[in-house]
C-alpha cells in the first residue's frame, strides 16, 4: 500500500517540523518594577529558565544579560518608580542585555532567582542609612505557650514593612496593629491610646509565632507611624499571606460596654454584590491566579477584583474568628461578645482569611487599666496565638480546609 506509506512519511515530517518549531519557541520575559516601603523591586518573569549575569557597569545602571537558545522577547510597560528611571534592551551577539537605569548613583542592589516560572528578582535600595526596625523585645520570663506542630523555631527573619515575597515557600502571617501615627483610634478616659495597645499586643503575638511556628511574620507597622489602610491589605497580598490578623481595642458610646469580640468582614452586600459574590465563591481558587494574570495591563479589572478580594475567604475568615474568639474567652475572663460581622475597611481588600480582633474596651475604665498591663497583653497575644494554631491545623494551606 504505497499511499499509506506516503502518509506515514508525511506524518513523520510533520512531527519533526513541530518539534523544531517547539525548540525554537520564543522566550517571553515580562519586566515589572514595583516600589515597596524600603526598596524597589524589578522582577523579570520568564517562560523558560535563563542564564543570567548581572553587573554594575557604571554607577547609575545595572546590566542584566540574558542567555537562551531561543529568541527572547521582552514585555514591559511604562515604569513609574521611586528609584528606577528606565529599563532598556539591547543585543550583544546572542545575548540580550537589559539595562536598568537608576535615578540615583547611591544605591545597593541584591538579586535572587525563583524556580518555576523562572523569576529573576532584583531589589534596589537607596544606600542612605536606614533606621533598624524595632524588633520584639525578648521577654523570656513571660508565659510561653506549649510548642505546637512545629517545635523547631524558625530562623529569625528580617521582618517589618520592608519584607516582601520571599523566593522560598515560607508561609507568612500578617499582623496589623490598628491605627498609628496621627491616627490614634479610640481613646480611654485615662488617656490610653488605641494605637499603643494594638502595637504592644502585635509585637508580643509576633514573637510568640516566630518562636513556635514555622511562619514568617510581617507587621504592617512596628513603630508609631501612619499606615494607609490599603497598604495594610497590600502587606498581606504582596506577601501572599496565609492569615491576616488586625488587632484593635474597642470604643463605645456606652461606658459599660465590655469584653472581647472578633470580627470578620460583612460585605454589606447589595443584590448586585450578591451575584458577584456568588461568582467569586464559586471560583475562589482561581481568584488569586486571575488577579496575578491580569496584573500590569488590566489595572481596572484588578482593582475591582481586589475590592472584593475578601469575599472569596469569608468562610475561612469566620472560622478563624471563631477559633480565636474561643481562646480569648477561655483565657481572658472578659465578657464574651462573640464573633460578629461588620464592614471594616481594612479587611475588604485582603486576599486570605482575615479577622479583626477587638480585645477589650478602652471606653470602659476597668478594661482600659487591663489593656495597659503587660501581663494582660501577653495573655491576649497567647490567646490569639492559640486560636491561630487551631486554625492552622484546620487549614494547612491557604484557603483549603482539610
Partner 1 sequence: MSRSRILLLAVLSLSLILLALLFFLSGGGGTLKEPPPARAGKKPGPQAEIVEMKKVRLFFLSGADGLFHPEEREILSSPIPEREAAQVVEELIKGSRQGLISPLPAEARVRQVYLTKEGTAYVDFTREFSDRHPSGSTAEIDTVYCLVNSLAMNFSSIKRVFILVNGDEKETLCGHISLTKAFLPNFSMIAQ
Residues that bind partner 1 (CB under 8 A): 178-179, 183-187, 194, 229, 248-257, 263, 268-270, 342-346, 348, 356, 358, 361-363
- What SS3 string covers 301-331? HHHHHHHCHHHHHHHHHHHHHHHHHHHHHHH
- In whole angstroms, how close is the CB of 269 to partner 1 at the nearest point? 8
- In whole angstroms, how close is the CB of 255 to partner 1 at the nearest point? 8
Residue with Cβ nearer partner 1 (69 or 256): 256
Q: Where are the beta strands (DSSP E) in 77-199?
A: 84-92, 95-102, 107-114, 119-126, 171-177
- What three-state secondary structure class fits 110? strand
CA-to-CA distance for 207 and 157, rounded, in angstroms?
11
Q: Are 193 and 149 in contact (CB under 8 A)?
A: no
Residue with Cβ nearer partner 1 (137 or 254): 254
CA-to-CA distance for 34 and 121, rounded, in angstroms?
11
Grid cell for residue 46: 520568564
Residue with Cβ nearer partner 1 (96 or 186): 186
Residue with Cβ nearer partner 1 (100 or 346): 346
Q: Are 299 and 291 in contact (CB under 8 A)?
A: no
- Residues in CB range of 275: below 8 A, 6 or more apart: none
Residue with Cβ nearer partner 1 (215 or 280): 280
- In whole angstroms, how close is the CB of 158 to partner 1 at the nearest point? 29
Residue with Cβ nearer partner 1 (331 or 335): 335
CA-to-CA distance for 189 and 123, rounded, in angstroms?
46
- In whole angstroms, how close is the CB of 307 to partner 1 at the nearest point? 9
- In whole angstroms, how close is the CB of 185 to partner 1 at the nearest point? 5
Residue from 78, 105, 87, 82 nearest 35 by CA: 82
- In whole angstroms, how close is the CB of 262 to partner 1 at the nearest point? 11
Amino acid at each position: 500500500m504505497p499511499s499509506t506509506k506516503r502518509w506515514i512519511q508525511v506524518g513523520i515530517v510533520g512531527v519533526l517540523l513541530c518539534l523544531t518549531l517547539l525548540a525554537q519557541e520564543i522566550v517571553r520575559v515580562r519586566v515589572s518594577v514595583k516600589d515597596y516601603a524600603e526598596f524597589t523591586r524589578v522582577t523579570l518573569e520568564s517562560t523558560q529558565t535563563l542564564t543570567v549575569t548581572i553587573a554594575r557597569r557604571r554607577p547609575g545602571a545595572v546590566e542584566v544579560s540574558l542567555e537562551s537558545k531561543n529568541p527572547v522577547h521582552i514585555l514591559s510597560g511604562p515604569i513609574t518608580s521611586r528609584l528606577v528611571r528606565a529599563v532598556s534592551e539591547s543585543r550583544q551577539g546572542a545575548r540580550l542585555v537589559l539595562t536598568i537605569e537608576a535615578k540615583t548613583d547611591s544605591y545597593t542592589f541584591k538579586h535572587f532567582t525563583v524556580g518555576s516560572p523562572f523569576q529573576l528578582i532584583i531589589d534596589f535600595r537607596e544606600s542612605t542609612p536606614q533606621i533598624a526596625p524595632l524588633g520584639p523585645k525578648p521577654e523570656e520570663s513571660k508565659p510561653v505557650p506549649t510548642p505546637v506542630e512545629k517545635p523547631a523555631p524558625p530562623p529569625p527573619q528580617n521582618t517589618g514593612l520592608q519584607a516582601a515575597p520571599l523566593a522560598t515557600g515560607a508561609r507568612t502571617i500578617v499582623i496589623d496593629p490598628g491605627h498609628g501615627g496621627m491616627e490614634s483610634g479610640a481613646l480611654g478616659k485615662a488617656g490610653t491610646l488605641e494605637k499603643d495597645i494594638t502595637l504592644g499586643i502585635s509585637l508580643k503575638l509576633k514573637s510568640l509565632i516566630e518562636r513556635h511556628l514555622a511562619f514568617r511574620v510581617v507587621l504592617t507597622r512596628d513603630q508609631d507611624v501612619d499606615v494607609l489602610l490599603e497598604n495594610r491589605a497590600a502587606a498581606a497580598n504582596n506577601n501572599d499571606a496565609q492569615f491576616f490578623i488586625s488587632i484593635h481595642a474597642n470604643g463605645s458610646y456606652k461606658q459599660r460596654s465590655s469584653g472581647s469580640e472578633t470580627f470578620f468582614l460583612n460585605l454589606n452586600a447589595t443584590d448586585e454584590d450578591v451575584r458577584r459574590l456568588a461568582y467569586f465563591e464559586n471560583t475562589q481558587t482561581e481568584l488569586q491566579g486571575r488577579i496575578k494574570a491580569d496584573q500590569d495591563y488590566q489595572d481596572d479589572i484588578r482593582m475591582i477584583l481586589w475590592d472584593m478580594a475578601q469575599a472569596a475567604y469569608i468562610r475561612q475568615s469566620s472560622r478563624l474568628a471563631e477559633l480565636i474568639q474561643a481562646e480569648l474567652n477561655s483565657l481572658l475572663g472578659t465578657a464574651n461578645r462573640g464573633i460578629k460581622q461588620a464592614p471594616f475597611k481594612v479587611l475588604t481588600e485582603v486576599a486570605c482569611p482575615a479577622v479583626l480582633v477587638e480585645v477589650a474596651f478602652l471606653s470602659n475604665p476597668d478594661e482600659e487599666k487591663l489593656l495597659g498591663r503587660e501581663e494582660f497583653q501577653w495573655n491576649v497575644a497567647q490567646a490569639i496565638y492559640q486560636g491561630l494554631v487551631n486554625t492552622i491545623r484546620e487549614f494547612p494551606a491557604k484557603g483549603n480546609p482539610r
